[in-house]
Amino acid sequence: MEAQDVQHEDSVTHTPPKPSVIRPERLAREFEDLGLGPAEARVIVALLQLGSAKSAQLAKAAGVPRTGIYQLIEALQEKGLVLRVPAGGAAMWTTPGQDKILDRLHSALLAAQQERVQQHALRATILRELLAEALPIPPEPVNLPYVHVIICPAQMRDEHERLLNGAAEEVLAFTRPPFSTEAGNAHAVTMATLARGVSLRAMYQAAQADDPEATAFRASADEYQAAGVQARIADVLPVKLLVVDRKVAILSLDNPLPHVEGLGVTLLLEHPGFAAMLAELFEQYWTAGRPYGAQPPVASKADTRN
């Protein structure tokens, strides 16, 4: 029985470890990203694979000319990445190990970055002195009191209410997402504006007005209409817009780069000329739109075939 057990153990075959699927070229590129030159990176990868090697062996494994291997080894020695093995005869080379190589390359990169930062600070100081000499009295920045950038939703809501409270004759609005109040809750300030006899016309997008599931939106729109808001529907509205008395406007612009994270921008424009131009834009959409509550146009058979 014991003999059979021994014979069984001897018959077991051990599967050799699979070779790495990561190619040396990939490793060399990674070392290049850490600051080594292309030839230096190939030498380091070859030496890590061999463990230790003579100069001629290392040159062959790294694919570099034998006449240039000595200069490369010297440069890597200065960086602390290659060590000479104490032995007689031809020089034998090795590395301090993977971890030390990576730590030293990382430290070298940090030192280089710190040096660049110091150089930039020095250049900024010199340039500041030169500017002070060349421009002893800097010009005043251009001030545009009639253009204000609104940077947060709360500020936009406050300005919206301020303009409505100050409206005397007319309010024009492109109403589209994102909304400043929750759907289903009619804005109290808007209702108060209507109660003062101010005319209010609004344009809605078909995506909200015609959506069968947008019941909350239509409930708010119906409440506004019952209070006196005149409304029409456009297929698409390019911006959010509020024009008050054709003298002041709030214009909300979407982020034009959808692949870049970030919000759009909202402008408060207290400029009668610009507000009048935006009012004319509103009138064009108003003329082309269909009344709120009217059924959307049915596509013709020709449109369907196209």
Please give the Cα distance from 306 to 303 (Å, whole number): 5
Which CATH number applies to 147-291? 3.30.870.10
pLDDT category of residue 176 using cuts at 50, 70 and 90:
confident
pTM over 0.85: no
> Sorting pLDDT into bands at 50, 70 and 90, what band is 7?
very low
pLDDT tens for each residue of 76-112: 999 999 999 887 778 899 999 999 999 999 999 999 8
pLDDT at 43 over 70: yes
Classified by CATH at the fold level, domain 22-139 comes out as Arc Repressor Mutant, subunit A (1.10.10)
For residues 134 and 127, the answer to whether their CB atoms sit within 8 Å is: no
Q: Which residue ranges make up each domain of the chain?
A: 22-139, 147-291
Quote the pLDDT of residue 158.
86
Q: What is the pLDDT of residue 1?
A: 39
Tell me, yes or no, if the two domains 22-139 and 147-291 fold the same way: no
Q: What are phi and psi of 54, to 5 degrees?
A: -80, 165
